[in-house]
């Protein structure tokens, strides 16, 4: 387990993961509760209720029936139809970032699960867990490149297009820069570990590989998980919920 | 709402915003698409803070200072009143046209959002903007924004016109057609009569639709007007209400039902939809060809984008176009920005009353859109759009004429649309269509004659 370096142990990593997830879940609860301050209907008083937010959202999202909900979920949330209508380039950017990010997050979760199986030899599946981790290398690479393409377009758009550049705030720079940095650091970590599908072991370095992997993991957890509920990243949660609540929007 | 005008110490939120609208504030991806389309930003392009992306960010920041994580951990800081005032300015620099919502990647319903934020500012004492303050006073007192007498609601109806006291079909004229653009009212009445459609009008019982109140966040008088108008329709046994005013039909279709507790038994129909049916059934007898008249249609925001999800795209966008294309001799031209992507004329959202320069700038841009496609006439189905586009035409020195669809139709049908003498003749603001024999000409009104406090 070359990954655990600088005194980190399996248990410390598990504890940190739980702590980060707890912050993430509390962040979501905090936001839902903040939204729950609002009213449940037109010209209504403030409610300040987490559950009434959930109820209002369900009421709005299903107002036109389940079929509209499903159609909106597929076309507007999963396929980003509204973005495609406005800008194919932005659509490619968002699709690659969205699916790259979501799949990498899911794969990371699966990887951790495999680590747990391996560590405790659950059901005697250590060998199989190792095999699964081996199979995950290719999808990690593919979805990593997807995220790289998306985040590169995002950064380039903010640099090249004058109007976009002029209206880019520090807020955008830090968060978009964060995504780009995490993506790049992820690739470099993989290269150092000699696991890369494309470059093989050309950059392999067993001394620095664990440190860099740890750095990448900390960045990813800090930015994507711990900071998500408190920043612009929240649109990852709020935008789909809004599209569903507005039944696809205008 | 306006008892204590000092905002200091008052909360930013006092109701009105739904919880899903608070969620919308966090849904903005800052993609900047709204900035490309915003008609007010086109005019004031040195003020990005008036665009939806910036307004949403600012309101989120102000709310965050009161209800964010920091406020929860360490207590909220007093609101910076200068920032709130600036935000109020930015929020009211918006015609609530809704194009930002149409193009928003996150599907944020921006019109509803602005109209829900504004009442909070009004309750705090920050809003509304300038002369918009007068709307609730005027409507509460006179039931219309023009300080006109209610008993004069039908003073423009020709003596030989047949208007019933009650019936299955009602024509809701609206305040502007009743007092400021009576040629539109006369043309509508003449067409309905010519088609042998029995219809009634509410007369003194017609109160302003109150669009201006909803749009500017002043909801106090709104309920009385909505309930009164709906009850007046019900009392007359009305089943279909036709409107030749986009602002009125938007408010009657979307806003009144929110205030009326009970069943509303009639349906609201844009006059253009009603007339298209008559055109298609061959009931309309054309008497004149409007030869060599190149006409373009300005989609009103209120009957287009605002209504398209309620009534469908066909009613919202295609019906008026079909009517224009049916008029003999008329050459129809489409502006580059049309249907749900049209450019707002700039009159709505209380902007004409509050920020006249901004309204004029938007109107000038829309007149330029019409000129770009070589239109002689910019036509619409909204008296208020017409008035503002006319103002934009006058200030930009354009030669384009501005006419309502109904008046063009009445001219082609050879109907007499002479306005009977009435106390409001001196306030009439419309280009007039004068027809002699088979030839019609549009004579432009060179100036804005009244100093009204009006707005949708």
Residue B273 in tokens: 């939809």
Rg (CA), chain A: 21
* Residue B1 · residue B218 · CB < 8 Å: yes
Q: Is residue B3 situated within a structural domain? A: no
Q: pLDDT confidence of B37, banded at 50, 70, 90?
A: very high
Nearest CB among B23, B32, B101 relative to A35 is that of: B23
How far lies A181's CA from each of A42, A148, A168, in Å? 43, 10, 18
Q: Are residues B119 and B182 in the same domain?
A: no
Residue A233: left (phi > 0), alpha (psi -120 to 50), or beta?
alpha
Residue A164 sits at the chain B interface (C-beta within 8 Å):
yes
What are the beta bridge partners of residue B436?
B439
Is A38–B21 a contact, with Cβ atoms under 8 angstroms apart?
yes
DSSP string covering B304-329: TTTTHHHH-HIIIIIHHHHHHHHSTT
Within 8 A of B53 by CB-CB distance, chain A residues are 167
Nearest CB among A56, A86, A230 relative to B19 is that of: A56
Q: Is residue B453 situated within a structural domain? A: no
Which has the closest alpha carbon to B111: B329, B267, B330, B309?
B309
* pLDDT of amino acid B111: 96
For residue B109, the chain A residue with the least C-alpha distance is A249
Domain span at residue B206? 135-443
* pLDDT of amino acid B10: 87
Q: pLDDT confidence of B454, banded at 50, 70, 90?
A: low
Q: Is residue B7 situated within a structural domain? A: no
* pLDDT of amino acid A2: 47
In chain B, how long is the greatest CA-to-CA distance?
80
pLDDT mean over B394-407: 94
Nearest CB among A38, A167, A248 relative to B32 is that of: A167
* pLDDT of amino acid B451: 60
How far lies A81's CA from each of A151, A190, A249, B169, B280, in Å? 20, 34, 11, 41, 36
Q: Are residues B165 and B229 in the same domain?
A: yes
Q: Is residue B47 situated within a structural domain? A: yes
Q: pLDDT confidence of B456, banded at 50, 70, 90?
A: low
How many CA atoms within 13 Å lie on the side-chain side of B39? Answer: 30
Is B19–A53 a contact, with Cβ atoms under 8 angstroms apart?
yes
What CATH number does the domain containing B37 carry? 1.10.1060.10
Residue A210 has pLDDT above 90, yes or no: no
Q: Is residue A101 situated within a structural domain? A: yes
Within 8 A of A230 by CB-CB distance, chain B residues are 69
How far lies A249's CA from each of B98, B108, B115, B215, B303, in Å? 11, 6, 16, 20, 17
* Residue B214 · residue B222 · CB < 8 Å: yes
Q: Which of B57, B92, B127 is the last residue of a domain?
A: B127
Residues B227-250 have pLDDT tens digits of 999 999 999 999 999 999 999 999
Count of structural domains, chain A: 1
Q: Which of B102, B127, B152 is the last residue of a domain?
A: B127
Count of structural domains, chain B: 2
Q: Are residues B114 and B152 in the same domain?
A: no
Residues B416-446 have pLDDT tens digits of 999 999 999 999 888 888 887 777 778 776 5
Is B67–A37 a contact, with Cβ atoms under 8 angstroms apart?
yes
Residue B222 in tokens: 């709104």
Q: For residue B46, give every residue at least 6 positions away whose Cβ sits within 8 Å of its Cβ, in sequence order, or none.
A: none
For residue B51, the chain A residue with the least C-alpha distance is A167
Residue A64 has pLDDT above 80, yes or no: yes
| Chain position carrying tokens 């997807």 | A146
What are the beta bridge partners of residue B401?
B377
Q: Are residues B116 and B151 in the same domain?
A: no
More confident residue, A125 or B296: B296
Is B18–A56 a contact, with Cβ atoms under 8 angstroms apart?
yes
* pLDDT of amino acid B2: 46
Q: Is residue A250 situated within a structural domain? A: no
Residues A235-244 have pLDDT tens digits of 989 999 999 9
Is B105–A82 a contact, with Cβ atoms under 8 angstroms apart?
yes
Q: Is residue B408 situated within a structural domain? A: yes
Q: For residue B421, give every residue at least 6 positions away whose Cβ sits within 8 Å of its Cβ, in sequence order, or none.
A: none
Domain span at residue A214? 10-36+48-245
Q: Is residue A41 situated within a structural domain? A: no
Give the mutation candidate from B13, B48, B107 for the A interface (greatest A CB count, under 10 A).
Answer: B107
Which has the closest alpha carbon to B165: B422, B186, B144, B157?
B157
Q: Are residues B116 and B153 in the same domain?
A: no
Residues 56-115 of A with CB under 8 A from B: 56-57, 60, 76, 80, 82-83, 86-87, 90, 94
Residues A154-174 have pLDDT tens digits of 999 999 999 889 888 888 888
* pLDDT of amino acid A176: 87
Within 8 A of A164 by CB-CB distance, chain B residues are 32
Is A238–B26 a contact, with Cβ atoms under 8 angstroms apart?
yes
Q: Is residue A100 situated within a structural domain? A: yes
Q: Is residue A15 situated within a structural domain? A: yes
Residues B268-280 have pLDDT tens digits of 999 999 999 999 9
> How far is the alpha carbon of A176 from chain B, nearest alpha carbon, in Å?
11
Q: For residue A174, give every residue at least 6 positions away whose Cβ sits within 8 Å of its Cβ, in sequence order, or none.
A: none
DSSP string covering B223-261: HHHHHHHHHHHHHTT-SEEEES-HHHHHIIIIIHHHH--
* Residue B169 · residue B238 · CB < 8 Å: yes
Q: Is residue A42 situated within a structural domain? A: no
Q: Are residues B254 and B398 in the same domain?
A: yes
Any idea which of A12-16, A84-88, A94-98, B160-164 has the lowest mean pLDDT? A12-16
For residue B305, the chain A residue with the least C-alpha distance is A250
Any idea which of A72-81, A187-196, B307-316, B365-374 has the lowest mean pLDDT? A187-196
Which has the closest alpha carbon to B379: B244, B211, B264?
B244
Burial of A127 (C-beta count, 10 Å sphere; 0-12/13-18/19+):
exposed
Residues 8-47 of A with CB under 8 A from B: 30-31, 34-47
* Residue B430 · residue B184 · CB < 8 Å: yes
Nearest CB among A167, A246, A249 relative to B48 is that of: A167
Task: Give the number of beta-carbon pairs within 8 Å between A and B.
Answer: 139
Q: Are residues B307 and B269 in the same domain?
A: yes
Q: Is residue B231 situated within a structural domain? A: yes
Is A83–B105 a contact, with Cβ atoms under 8 angstroms apart?
yes
Any idea which of B199-208, B335-344, B436-445 has the lowest mean pLDDT? B436-445
Q: Are residues B120 and B37 in the same domain?
A: yes
Q: Is residue A105 situated within a structural domain? A: yes
* pLDDT of amino acid B39: 97
Q: Are residues B169 and B36 in the same domain?
A: no
Q: Are residues B389 and B250 in the same domain?
A: yes
Is A43–B340 a contact, with Cβ atoms under 8 angstroms apart?
no
Q: Is residue B112 situated within a structural domain? A: yes
Q: What is the mean pLDDT of chain A?
A: 88
Q: What is the mean pLDDT of chain B?
A: 93
Q: Are residues B114 and B188 in the same domain?
A: no
* pLDDT of amino acid A5: 65
Nearest CB among B16, B17, B101 relative to A250 is that of: B101
Strand order in the sheet with B169-172: B169-172, B240-243, B267-270
pLDDT mean over A146-158: 93
Nearest CB among A40, A57, A235 relative to B27 is that of: A235
Within 8 A of B15 by CB-CB distance, chain A residues are 39, 43-46
* Residue A67 · residue A75 · CB < 8 Å: no
Within 8 A of B28 by CB-CB distance, chain A residues are 235
Nearest CB among B19, B32, B107 relative to A38 is that of: B19
pLDDT mean over A107-117: 88
* Residue B103 · residue B34 · CB < 8 Å: yes
Q: Is residue A84 situated within a structural domain? A: yes
Q: Are residues B205 and B74 in the same domain?
A: no
Residue A159 in tokens: 């640099």
Cα-based angle B446, B388, A86 (whole degrees, multiple of 5): 140
Is B32–A239 a contact, with Cβ atoms under 8 angstroms apart?
no
More confident residue, A131 or B444: A131
* pLDDT of amino acid A10: 77
Tell me the ipTM for this assembly: 0.90
Within 8 A of A237 by CB-CB distance, chain B residues are 26
Q: Which of B93, B109, B127 is the last residue of a domain?
A: B127
């Amino acid at each position: 387990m070359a990954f655990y370096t600088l005194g980190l142990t399996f248990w410390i990593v598990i504890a940190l993961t739980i702590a980060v997830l707890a912050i993430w879940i509390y962040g979501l609860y905090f936001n839902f509760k903040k939204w729950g301050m609002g009213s449940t209907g037109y010209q209504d008083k403030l409610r300040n209720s987490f559950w009434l937010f959930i109820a209002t959202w369900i009421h709005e999202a299903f107002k036109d029936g389940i079929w509209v909900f499903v159609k909106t979920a597929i076309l507007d949330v999963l396929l980003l139809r509204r973005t495609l209508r406005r800008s194919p380039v932005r659509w490619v950017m968002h699709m690659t970032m969205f699916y790259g990010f979501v799949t990498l997050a899911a794969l990371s979760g699966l990887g951790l699960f495999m680590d747990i199986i391996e560590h405790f030899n659950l059901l005697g599946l250590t060998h199989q867990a190792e095999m699964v981790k081996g199979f995950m290398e290719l999808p990690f690479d593919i979805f990593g490149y997807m995220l790289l393409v998306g985040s590169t377009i995002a950064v380039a758009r903010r640099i090249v297009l004058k109007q976009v550049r002029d209206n880019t705030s520090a807020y955008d720079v830090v968060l978009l820069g964060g995504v780009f940095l995490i993506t790049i650091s992820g690739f470099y970590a993989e290269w150092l570990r000699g696991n890369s599908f494309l470059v093989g072991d050309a950059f392999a370095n067993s001394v620095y590989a664990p440190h860099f992997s740890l750095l990448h993991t900390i960045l990813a957890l800090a930015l994507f998980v711990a900071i998500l509920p408190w920043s612009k990243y929240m649109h990852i949660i709020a935008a789909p919920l809004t599209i569903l609540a507005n039944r696809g929007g205008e | 709402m306006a008892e204590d005008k000092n905002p200091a110490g008052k909360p930013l939120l006092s109701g009105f915003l739904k919880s899903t609208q608070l969620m919308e504030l966090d849904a903005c991806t800052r993609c900047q698409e709204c900035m490309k389309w915003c008609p007010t930003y086109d005019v004031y392009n040195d003020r990005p803070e008036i665009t939806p992306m910036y307004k949403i960010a600012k309101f989120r920041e102000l709310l965050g200072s009161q209800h964010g994580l920091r406020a929860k951990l360490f207590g909220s800081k007093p609101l910076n009143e200068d920032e709130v005032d600036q935000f109020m300015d930015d929020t009211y620099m918006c015609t609530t046209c809704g194009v930002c919502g149409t193009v928003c990647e996150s599907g944020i319903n921006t019109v509803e959002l602005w109209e829900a934020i504004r009442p909070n500012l009004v309750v705090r004492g920050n809003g509304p903007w300038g002369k918009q303050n007068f709307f609730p006073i005027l409507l509460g007192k006179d039931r219309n924004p023009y300080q006109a007498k209610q008993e004069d609601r039908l003073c423009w109806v020709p003596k030989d016109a047949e208007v019933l006291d009650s019936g299955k079909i009602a024509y809701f004229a609206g305040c502007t057609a009743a007092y400021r653009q009576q040629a539109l009212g006369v043309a509508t009445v003449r067409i309905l009569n010519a088609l042998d459609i029995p219809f009634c009008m509410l007369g003194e019982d017609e109160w302003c639709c109150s669009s201006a109140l909803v749009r500017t966040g002043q909801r106090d008088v709104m309920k009385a007007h909505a309930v009164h108008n709906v009850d007046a329709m019900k009392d007359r046994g009305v089943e279909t209400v036709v409107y030749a005013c986009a602002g009125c039909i938007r408010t009657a279709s979307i806003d009144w039902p929110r205030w009326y507790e009970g069943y509303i038994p009639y349906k609201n129909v844009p006059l253009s939809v009603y007339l298209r049916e008559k055109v298609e059934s061959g009931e309309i007898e054309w008497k004149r060809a409007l030869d060599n008249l190149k006409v373009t249609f300005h989609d009103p925001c209120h009957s287009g984008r605002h209504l398209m999800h309620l009534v469908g795209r066909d009613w919202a966008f295609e019906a008026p176009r079909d009517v224009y294309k049916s008029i003999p001799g008329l050459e129809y031209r489409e502006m580059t920005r049309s249907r749900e992507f049209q450019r707002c004329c700039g009159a709505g959202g209380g902007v004409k009353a509050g920020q006249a320069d901004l309204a004029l700038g938007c109107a000038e841009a829309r007149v330029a859109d019409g000129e770009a496609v070589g239109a002689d006439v910019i036509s619409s189905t909204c008296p208020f759009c017409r008035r503002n586009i006319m103002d934009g035409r006058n200030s930009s020195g354009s030669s384009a004429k501005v006419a309502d669809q109904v008046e063009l139709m009445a001219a082609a049908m050879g109907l007499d649309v002479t306005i009977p003498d009435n106390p409001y003749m001196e306030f009439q603001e419309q280009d007039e269509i004068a027809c002699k024999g088979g030839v019609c000409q549009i004579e432009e009104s060179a100036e804005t004659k009244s100093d009204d406090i009006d707005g949708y």
